[in-house]
Each structure stands twice: as structure tokens, then as C-alpha cells.
Amino acid sequence: MKAMEVHGVGVTFGGIIAVHDVSFAVEPGEIFAVIGPNGAGKTTLFNAVTGIHPPTHGHVELDGREQVAPMTRQTMVELLVAFLLVGVGVAATVNVERLWQASVIDNYIYEQPFPWGSALADLGRAVATLGWLGGALPLVCGGLVGAGAAWTNWSRARRSPDHIARTGVARTFQNIRLFNELSLVQNVLVGMDARMRAGFFSALLRLPRFRRERERFHAEAMKLLEFVGLADRALEAAGALPYGFRRRLEIARALAGTPKLILLDEPAAGMNPTEVGGLMALIRRVRDRGTTVILIEHHMKLVMGISDRIHVLQYGRTIAEGSPDAIRSNPRCIEAYLGVEENG
Amino acid sequence: MRWRPGPIVTILAIAAVVPLVDLVLPAELALSEAVRTVFLYAILALGLNVMTGYAGMLNLGIAAFMAIGAYAFGILSCEIYPFQLGFWPALALTIPIGALAGFILGAPTLGLRGDYLAIVTLGFGEIVQDILKNLDSITKGMQGINPLPAPSIGGAMWTSNDERSWYYLLLALLTLTVIAARNLERSRLGRAWFSIREDELASRSMGIRVERAKMIAFATGAAIAAFAGGLSASVLSSTGEPNNYDFQVSILALCIIIVGGIGGVAGVLVGSLVMVGLNSIVLAKATAWMAAHGIGSQGNVMLSPNNWKFLIFGLALVIAVRIKPTGILPPKLERGRV
Amino acid sequence: MNATRTAILTLILIPCVGLLGSHSASAQGTLKIVSSLPRTGSANAQTSTIVNGIKMAIDEVGGKVDGWTIAYQDMDDASPQRGNWDPAVEAQNANTAAKDEEVVAYIGTFNSGAAKVAIPILNRAGLVMVSPANTYPGLTKPGKGEANEPMVYRPSGKINYFRVVPTDDLQGVQAANWAKDLGIHKVFILHDRELYGEGIADVFKKQAESLGIEVVGFEGIDSKAANYRSTVTKIKALNPDLVYFGGTTQSNAGQIAKDLRSGGFKGKYMVPDGCFEQAFIDAAGAGNLNDNTFITFGGLPPEKLTGRGAQFCSAYRTKYSADPEAYAAYGYECARVILQAMARAKTKDRAGVLEAIAATKDFDGVLARWSFDANGDTSSTVMSGQTVHGGKFEFVKILGD
Amino acid sequence: MFDFEVLVQQLITGLSNGMIIALIAIGYTMVYGIIELINFAHGDVFMLGAFFALTLMGVLGMESWGPGGQAVGVAAMLVGSALFCGALNWSLDRVAYRALRRSSKLALLVSAIGCSFICMNLGLFWGGLPMDVFAGGVAAAAPKDFPALVPQVNLLGESFIRITPADALVFAVTIPLMVALTLMVNRTNLGRAMRAVAQDPVAASLMGIPVDRVIGATFFIGGALGGFASVVYSLYNNTIGFQMGTRAGLDAFTAAVLGGIGSLPGAVLGGLTIGCVRAMSDQYLETRWTNTIVFCILVLILIFRPSGILGSSRKEKV
């Protein structure tokens, strides 16, 4: 089984074709690089894969499964529940004064005990006499709005980044997006959120379960920070971190969710040669943990040094794919990359 | 390391001795009653802080949830309705009712971008007043619901004259709210909220279920605000009228958290002390003093001290954010194990 | 620790500013009257005239009753961020007054909703409260409000709340009777969804229906709206002879008059005493009101007053160089009832003053000669009808005769 | 009973009211588009504009001018109020907002709220000034009559449907203004600079655009539109008061959001929608539910179009 398969993915933004019919497959445990000149559509491809801007065409499979959440029986039940809840809610709201009058006001005499039984019976009778205009119409209209809204929400959420992240895909961003006001360890802990189980009430009441989980994940987060070499700064604010370290923190945060697949968007951008050397070692160690790595990079030394296979894009289209040696000697790639080396 | 009291503990401890200070102050200077208002607004602002401070969702209609809490408390406990639950059960029920109201408003709207949500909440704040007025067979419209029960610990029910009892009850409930807010803040949920506030897309890409986290923040904030509403109705023994929960209350709550320092519990406490203190202590006492000494007159609009209150309040806001845009006590980075 | 220091400083500063606001305890032999009215925001205009009336009454007795110095404190039950009465502030005012031993009488409130908060607090303290403006019937009259009213306002079992204004249930009835006299067959009723306006509109509706006037519409408006043109179109299509608006100048009675006229409505317009002030004519524009607008008022208008009333009017004009408005007279009446009761009181304390006020009989007031009845209401039920002519209120008749 | 004349009349009313809302909404949407601030003070600037116009009228004694003179007077009020409100809004930006550009959006919001309170208090004082056209010093808080310089007579004679010169004025002022504004934003250098700053202030300043001046200009233009709106509003409704800014601002902001905040045509569409929905609800349902219905429609539209009717769903750059 492939770790990820991209089938004919295309992305268009208001008529502009950013990515056109790109397909490739990534083997588990591989370091796979996507390269191409600026504007080739590499980041757009990443965004399509991670659900930030869903692909206009094609689809992506992870571990042989469709990445978009399928329509299940549970979804149908949820739509039905939304229909009923909103429908009944609207119908009740529209008639609230009438129902209140029938059940409470007609039955309650000041300083007398309240006859609950007859009040409920009256309420039932009042509901039964609501009729079409007062009862059924608001029920159906409200229900349709409710189901429509639930449907809209569901279809937005079925391919949203959080859903995809939870299926085991983590990523870093080209323009580093850390949570600057949180400490390093907290940044890593955010990445672990999907694995945590303690809920609202155990946090509110500080139940033992919450404490146990907190200790466990905290220790793990510290280990991850050690792994990327940032353990001694664990309690500093992420915003105060020097640039080179920020990349490392982002990788640690991405690894925190124990993803099967990690997407690195230009991890070496702005690094000096020593830092790049360290980064290469880090990426290899990530792979050695069993995580498949896909990276976008301009830094040819890094790409050629660590990639198992390379996929080359230009103007949103695939122009080549193969081992580093094959790409290095591919004339179309050399042509596409003339001048890019000067920039990068 | 030696334990040192943080700002929250310090503030609450000082608040606990205010009634004792009152014993030595002359009667007209007594502070505890005004400080009670500070407590109520502090609870309300803590609720708003969960939504706006933690999760970054601007809410301009928090007063609506306060109104819902107050009216729910009124209907559940007043003797002119059949339910007559008594103080504690009714107050406890305001929390789930507030959360439900938060859910009903939040479910369709939480996907909205920043200020779109702000306008929806603002509108909600307006129409809740309208609805409370219009459904007058249920809510008694503009009459308000009264009298409402107060707690009775050992013996007769308190009245609003039992100042010290009320004072310490409110302080205790405020402390509970503070603990709840702190517990949530320093949990997985709080972290998720902060990450959403900082960068929604990045936290989404890390697998945070943004809608769900926002929903919880919204419902929690609404529940706390409703709790504040029920409590304030009990203190006054009346829900007042729907207009008492208008936009201006929401604005005051917002000013409290921003002037105090958004996102931190200590900031909210200081903010409510400063903003409500300015209103119900400093301005009130100052105008009373001026009136007693014959300063100002009623004949000319500009010579009457009361007519300057809006201006002073507004200037205080502008100057406060100008001097400290991050608030008086901005939250510090959580350094401990979180 | 800087944060802690800031917190402590703030906590210390506020009491200090509070101290500045204090003033030394008064000499022995002082009786204090306080008023609690919304002094900030939109009701300021009316409450200013009430305060003027109170001050005038105190000045007239030279600030002394039986050798006791009368001190007066004007409290504000509105808060600046609300711009309207605030229940928390009202409760605070009531508690402050209840605690201050020197206070023997409490004038207020302006809003009936505020009275609901204040009355029980003062009742427990045995402090008398006289209102110049509350018209909600349930505050005093059994059976007119909720089931538990008015007992709920008297936890001590004694009556401590009095008012010098006639209640909505009287005025609404008289207004409908007058409408019948004016030959109205069809009426459209609007109200501002406030306690006062909706209450009076409800009474008007019931009475109108019982008199056989057809009520073609009954609607609550949004008193903050910019205009009511669409409502006027709706009214016009139903073609009533009269539009009755239960509301005040503050709740946009003036704008409704304007929109009725500019919308081409030709019928009559009737409003209650919340609009009996020059500001209503100013807001509506005299041209929109002249000769087709009718105002009911509990009492006689200033120029019809004789005796005490006439003296009051001329004194008020001299002192404030303005015509007294209805609320000025009510404020003045409140203060004078209290001052006279103080003079009569056997003991110059709360119980004495309360007893003396409750015993008020045949009081020679500016509005009429009246007594407090067993509920604490004024026995004066004289209502007058006004119209607007040439930009001024003009007395038409005594209602109910 | 369905009456066609009533429907037409309600549409006219709805459109006129909607146009006024739209004019205020544009001021909000422009400022929001450029610095993402809900300018709470805008409604109160608008209110002060109305007081300025009334003062101008009183000082110049316009009520006694002839019909031709009054037309000149209306023009003078429009220009005067626009300049006044523009300058006021510009100064608010200069004094209260500019220093907070780098602070959080919420600090800016609180500053705007503070300005709103200050302006409201100034309106109260202004209402208390003893001028001929005012009620006098005492009733500062009471609503003030704004003399009907533009008569409210029916141009169609005695028919049920009424179109008054005041209705005509609303359209005669707002439509050209909106066209001119659209042209300005799309065609002039200032308009281009405004759009550039709205998209990315840092990049714009790197390109040599004087960002602070462009923002100041936006505030001025937004305020000026509020000024025009205040005169049109006053001549249409003939009542002003120191608290009128709050409601007008609320409606206008709702309109801006409904149409898609940051979009000029969206603000107009939103304003007209709200105006018409209000009129229809007043006629065919009950007035007391009108606000609730407007809110429900707002929520419904935002559920299915989260960026408003004409708003662009701005894709976040990653």
C-alpha cells in the first residue's frame, strides 16, 4: 500500500490554473521531494493535500483510503437530528406563547400547588391543535433550514484540515506559523491534542485522569523537544525564538501528533549551511522513526542529499519524476531550474 | 522555591478584607456594596473572557446571556410561576440553560470570520431584549420578575440588607468561577483556544477541531454569563427590565477585559475593579459630593456634573488603551507545566 | 512583583478617591431627604425639573422644619455606561439611604421598574418613599398587577410607598372616554413597549372596546427607530379616526406625530401625560400637532391652577425662568408633602415621618386638594384634557365630568 | 387583503430608509476595509453632523430664506456637515487610533468605543446650547426638531402612494455620491492607494505609499459620507437627538456585514435589504418583531454565505 497517492489533482483560483492534473504516489518510509521554480504550484499542491484549499479536480488517497470523509449512516442520522431539532425548535418558538398559556397560565393559580399532570395533558392537547399553519409549516421550514445548515457544515468539515490532520498527515508552513505567545512545550502539546482524551469536565474538575494524561504528554513533549534539540528552551515563548530554531520547533510540533506522513514546506529557507546540515540530519532521523516525509525545497544540496525520489513541477504541471541522479541529468529539469539557483 | 501569591490570590485576598475596612469607614463611604457590583461584573467578564480572551471570538452581545440567565432564574424561582425551585437549584440551572443558549446561537454562526461573528452576537444581544419584551405573557415583559429568592443559610432568607453575607457569597462564587476559568485555561482545551486565537489555520492543520473548541468556549462563556445574570437577579430580587441587559452592558464587559488585560483572569479582575469602580464608586461618590456642596447647577447642561459622566468614561477608555494597549495586567506566558 | 503592586495600588486608590467624595458628618438636628432619579442620559430633562421642584419646596421653608435643618441629596440611579436607570445603582441608592440614619424620606423613583427594586429595601428599613412619577398600578393596587402585587413590596407588612401621580389604569380609561366624546369610531393603538406606555395602552384598548370603539390595530413600536413611515402606511391603509400612542417624548412620540402628518394621515392623535411637556411640541414640531393632537394629564395644567398651584407657577417662573412642566409640579408636591409631614410628625424620625405622611388628609396641593388613600395612592383623580394650539398646550376640559 | 398600493408605498419607504442606512454603512465598510476596525464612533460622528447642520441652519437663519435660498441652504448644509464630519473622523483617527495601529485590534476597538462615548456626550452638550432652533438649555437630552426645509408634501397629488421631495432628496444625494465614490476607489490614485493599504499595509508602505495619510484620507471620506448621511437623515426624519447615532450605527453596521464587509456595493445592497425587510415586516407582520426578523435574515444569509452577499471569501495566504 502507498503512504499517499495523488490522483490527477488540479487547483484553480478564479480561472487561474495553479496546479494541473498532478499525480504521484509516495511509498511508506520514503523521503519524497517536490521541487520546481517559484510559482510552480508546490505549496498549492500541499494546501490541496492538507485540505486548506481543497482540490478542484482529482482526489488524494492515504493508506489506500479516500482522504475526504465519506457519507456514512452516522452523517445521515445527524442530518435527521438537525432537521428534527431545528424544526421542533422553530415550531415551539413560534407557538411558545400559546403553549405557555395552555399549560402554565391556565393551570396555575397563585399560591396553589401546580397540577403538573393536567398541565402536561393541556400542553399535549395544545400541541395537537396547532394545525398546519402553526405546527407543520414551521416544523418543515425550520427543519429544512436546520438540515441544510448541518449539510453545509458537514460538507465543509469533511475535507477540512483538522479532519485530514487527524488521519495522520502533519505539515509545516513555508512562512513559519508558530503560536508565538505560547511556550515551546505548549506549541508541541497543541500538536498532540488529537491524541488526548481528557474532556471538558476532567479539565474543569482536575480529575486524576486529567493529571495522568497531562504528566504523560508533558514528558513526551519534552522528549520531542530534545529530539529537535530545543529542550533547554522549552519554557520560552515561541515568538522569541531565533529563526533557525523556529523551523525545528515547527517540525517537532508536526511530529507531535505521531503522523504517518509529514509535509515540510521549504524547511531550509533562510538557513545557513551549518543549519542546513543539521536539518538534513534531523529529517533523516524523522524518517528513521518511521514517518514518511514529503518536502518542498529549493535548496538543491539538501534535496539531492536526502531524497529518495523527486517530483518536479513547472507552471503547475509535472515535468519529471525520479531518483536524484535521474533528475540531475534530466534536460527539462535543468532548463526549468536555470536561474532559480541564483535566487535560491 | 518560596511560594509567592500571584496577582489573582492577592486581589481576592484584599477583596476579602474590604467589609472589615468598611467597619472603620463612615457609613457613606462604605465600599462593600459597590464592590458587590464589581464581583458581578467580574463574573460576567470572566465569561466573556472565555470567548473573547481565550478563543479570540469577539462577542458584543454577552449581556444577552446574562439576560437569559436572569430570566431563567426568575421564571424558575419566582412565586408567580409554578416552578418555585428556590435559590440554589434555580441558580445551578442557569448554567446549563446559558450553555444551551450559547449552543443555539453558536452552532450556526461559529464558522464565521472574526467580525462577522461580532455583528451576529451584537444583533443577538439586541433581539434577546426584544424577545423578552414581546413574550410578555411568559416573561412579564417590561415589568420584570420579582421578588426572587435569596439564599438562606440557617434561618431566614437574606435580604439585600444582609450585606456581609451577600458580599462573601458573591466573593466565594467569584472565586469558584476564577478557579474554573483557571482550570480550563491550563488544560488541553485552553491550549487549543489559545492556538486558535493565535493562528486558526495552523491549529486546524495540527488537528485541533476548531469548530468544536469554539463551540465549547462559546457555551462555557455563555454559561458563566448566565450564571452572573441569575446571581445579579437574586441580589436585586428582581430581573429588572429587558433593557437592563442592553448593548451598554456588553460594552462594559468588553471594556473590562480589554482594559484589564485580555486573556488573563487577573486582568479581568483588575479590569472590573477599575471600570466598575470608576462608575459606581468614583463617579458616583464624586457627583454626590459635588451635589452636596452645591457645585454645579441643573440650569445649564454643561454645569451639571452628571452630564459629564459619558465623557469621563469615554476619556478613561481612550487614555487607558493609549497608555497600556495590552491592558493593566496582561496575561503572562504560562511557564509552568501545562 | 509588578502585577501584584498594580493590583494593590488600584485597590488602595479607589477608597482614597472615595474619601475625597466624603463630607464631614452634619451637625445634630439634621433631617435628610434624598431623591433617586435617573440623572444621566435621556431622562435627564424630566428629572431635572423634578429636582428643581424639590429644591424649590425646600427653599420655600428656608431649609428648616421646626428648627431641624433639612438636607437634600440628589442621587442618580442611572449609570453612565447604561445611560438609563440601572437596577444595581437603584438598589445601591436605596441601601445607602436605608443605612444613613439621618435620611427620613426618599423621593423616587422615575421608572416604575426601579421602584420595584427600591420599595422592598426601604420597606424593611421603615423609610418612607414618595414617587413623583411611577404610574404602574401594581405598585399599590391589589388586583391590578401580578398576583403577588402589591404585598410583595411590603415585606414588613406596613405601607411605606406613596405616590402623588394618578396611575395608568385611571388615565387610560379617561383617555378612552374622551376619545368616545370626540366622536371616534376607529382607533389604531401604538405603544412603546415600556412599562408605562404599554400599560396605559392596554387599559385604553380595553376601555375603548367596551365603549364600542373599533380597535383596528394594537402594536408595539421600536422607540429607537429613525422613523415610523412603514407603520404609518399600515395605519393609513386601515383608515382609523384616531391614533393613540402609549408612550413618552423620549420614546419618540414626536417622531410618530411627524410621520403621521408627513405620511398623509388626516385623523387625530392622542397621547398620555408622558408627553405633556414642551419638549414634546419641540420634538414633534408645532405644525404637526396643532389642533389635532390630544393629551391627557393627571391634574390641571399650570395656567388653570388656582391658589397654591398658581403661586407655585409664578414662583417657579421667577426662580428658574421657565414654565413649570408637569414633572416639576409632581416633584414639588412630593417634597412639600414630606416637609409638611415632618412638621406634623410627633417624633422627628423615620417612623414619625412615615406615620405623618400616611395620615396626609386634604392636602392643599398644587394640582388639587387630595389625601393618600389606604394603598398609598393620591385620592386626586382629576384629569384634564389638553390640545395643542399655536405651538402651545391648551386646556380643553376636565375629564370624567 | 392584499393591497398593491400599500406594497408600492412600503417599497418606497424601505428603499429611502435603506439608502440612508447604506450611506452610513459605506463609512463603516471603508474604515473596516482598510484597518479592520469596527469604528464605533462613526454613528456618533454622524449624530454630531446632524447637530452641526442644525446649528448651521439656525445661525444662518435658513428657515426664513425663500424656496431657492433654501435649496442653496440644503447644499450648504450637505457640504458643511460633510467637511465637519470628515474632519472630526480624521481627528479621531489622528488622536485616538493612529497610536494603536500596532496594538491589538481589540485595543483599537475599545478606543473607538471610548470615542463614541465622548462624541455622545458632546452631542448632549451641543443639544443644550441655547440657540434659536433648540428648545433651550434645559432639555438637552430631548429629541430636537429639525425644520423641514425639504417639504414633506406629496408630489403625486392626493393619491395614496406618496413620494415627497424628501424621498427624492434621499435618492438625489445618495446615488451620485455612491457613483462618485465607486469611481474614486477604482480610478484615482488615492483609491488605488487605499486598496493597496487595505490588502497589505506593510507592502504598501514599502512601495512608497504614505500609509498613515491614506488611512487618514479614508477616515475623512468615511466621515464625510456620514456627514452627508446626517443631513439627508435629518431632512428626511426631521428629528435629531444625541443618542440617534447608536441605532443608526447598528443598522448601518448590520448592513455592511450583510452585504459583505469591505465591499461598497455590498454595503448599498445590505442597506437596501434591511430597509425593505423592515418595511415589509412592519406592514405584513408586527413592528415589534421587525428587529428579530432582520436578525434572523442576517443569520440565515451568513450561514449559507459566510462572507455576506457580495463579500469575497478572502482566501488566507499560506
* pLDDT at D315 (0 to 100): 58
Q: Chain C, 288-347: which have a CB under 8 Å from a chain B CB?
A: 320
ipTM above 0.95, yes or no: no
**Does D19 fall in a domain?**
yes
Residues on chain D touching A296 (C-beta within 8 angstroms): none
Between residues D112 and B110, the one the model is more confident about? D112
Mean of the pLDDT values across residues B283-300? Answer: 69
**Does D311 fall in a domain?**
no
Domains C30-166+305-370 and C168-297+384-399 share a fold: yes
* pLDDT at D136 (0 to 100): 46
Q: What is the pLDDT along chain C (401 residues), one digit of tens a residue?
A: 455 555 555 555 444 444 444 443 344 588 899 999 988 777 777 888 899 999 999 999 988 888 889 988 888 888 766 677 888 888 888 988 888 888 999 998 898 889 999 999 999 899 999 999 998 999 999 988 888 888 889 888 899 999 998 888 889 999 999 999 999 999 999 999 888 899 999 999 999 999 999 999 999 999 888 899 999 999 999 999 999 999 988 888 999 999 999 888 989 999 998 888 888 888 888 888 988 999 998 877 777 777 888 888 889 989 888 888 888 889 999 999 999 999 988 888 899 999 999 998 888 888 788 899 989 998 888 888 999 998 888 899 888 76
Contact flag D104-B262 (C-beta cutoff 8 Å): yes
Ramachandran angles phi, psi of B32, nearest 5°: -60, -35
Place of cell 538543491: A300
Contact flag D36-B115 (C-beta cutoff 8 Å): yes
Candidates B188, B208, B214, partner chain A, best to mutate (most A CBs within 10 A): B188
Burial of D65 (0-12, 13-18, 19+ CB in 10 A): middle
CA distance C104 to chain B (A): 15
How much is the pTM?
Answer: 0.91
Candidates D287, D292, D295, partner chain C, best to mutate (most C CBs within 10 A): D287
**Cα A169 to the chain's mean position, in Å?**
8
Nearest residue of chain A to residue C147 (CA atoms): A110
Domains belonging to chain B, first-starting first, are 7-22+29-334 (1.10.3470)
Q: Can you give the residue ranges of every domain in chain C?
A: 30-166+305-370, 168-297+384-399
* pLDDT at B160 (0 to 100): 63
**Does D78 fall in a domain?**
yes
Q: Which fold has domain C30-166+305-370?
A: Rossmann fold (3.40.50)
pLDDT digits (tens, 9 = 90+) for D106-131: 899 999 999 999 999 999 888 877 65
Residues on chain A touching C147 (C-beta within 8 angstroms): 110-111
Nearest residue of chain A to residue C143 (CA atoms): A110
**Does D315 fall in a domain?**
no
Range of the domain at D255: 4-304
Is D135 touching B (CB cutoff 8 A)? no
When divided into structural domains, chain D yields a total of 1
- With a cut of 50, list the residues of chain A below it in pLDDT: 339-344
* pLDDT at B146 (0 to 100): 81
In this prediction, residue B68 has a pLDDT band, given cuts at 50, 70 and 90, of: very high
Range list of H helices, chain A: 42-50, 73-94, 96-100, 116-128, 131, 137-157, 161-166, 184-192, 200-204, 208-227, 243-255, 273-288, 300-306, 324-328, 331-337, 340-343
Is D283 touching C (CB cutoff 8 A)? yes
**Does D314 fall in a domain?**
no
CA distance C147 to chain A (A): 6
Is C310 touching D (CB cutoff 8 A)? no
Of C6, C25, C84, the CB nearest to B329: C6
Is D309 touching B (CB cutoff 8 A)? no
Beta bridge partners of C389: C392
CA distance A215 to chain B (A): 9
Compute the distance between CA of residue D29 and CA of residue D252 in angstroms, rounded to an integer: 9
Q: Which residues contact A9 (CB under 8 A, 6 or more apart)?
A: A19, A21, A22, A23, A45, A48, A49, A55, A57, A58, A59, A60
**Does D70 fall in a domain?**
yes
Contact flag A53-D303 (C-beta cutoff 8 Å): no
Q: Which residue in B190, B180, B236 sits closest to B213, CA to CA?
A: B190
CATH number, domain C168-297+384-399: 3.40.50.2300
* pLDDT at C21 (0 to 100): 40
Between residues B36 and C213, the one the model is more confident about? C213
Question: CATH code at D45?
Answer: 1.10.3470
**Does D312 fall in a domain?**
no
* pLDDT at D103 (0 to 100): 86
Task: Give me the DSSP letters along C187-231.
Answer: EEEEE-SSHHHHHHHHHHHHHHHHTT-EEEEEEE--TT-S--HHH
CA distance A109 to chain C (A): 9
Ramachandran angles phi, psi of B48, nearest 5°: -60, -35
Distances C310 to B270, C304, C317 between C-alpha atoms, Å: 55, 8, 11
* pLDDT at D125 (0 to 100): 85
Q: Chain D, 246-265: which have a CB under 8 Å from a chain B CB?
A: 246, 250, 253-254, 257, 261
pLDDT exceeds 80 at position B55: yes
Contact flag B201-A161 (C-beta cutoff 8 Å): yes
Contact flag B284-C17 (C-beta cutoff 8 Å): no
pLDDT digits (tens, 9 = 90+) for B155-201: 677 776 677 888 999 999 999 999 999 999 989 999 999 999 999 99
* pLDDT at C24 (0 to 100): 39
Is D288 touching A (CB cutoff 8 A)? no
Residues on chain B touching C324 (C-beta within 8 angstroms): none
Q: What is the pLDDT along chain D (318 residues), one digit of tens a residue?
A: 568 889 999 999 999 999 999 999 998 898 988 888 889 999 999 999 999 999 898 888 888 888 888 889 999 999 999 999 999 999 999 999 999 988 888 899 999 999 999 999 999 888 877 655 554 444 677 788 888 888 888 888 878 888 889 999 999 999 999 999 999 988 999 999 998 998 888 899 898 899 999 999 999 999 999 999 999 999 999 888 888 998 899 899 999 999 988 888 999 999 999 999 999 999 998 889 999 999 999 988 888 888 888 877 655 666
pLDDT digits (tens, 9 = 90+) for B226-278: 999 999 999 888 888 898 898 889 999 999 999 998 888 999 999 999 988 88
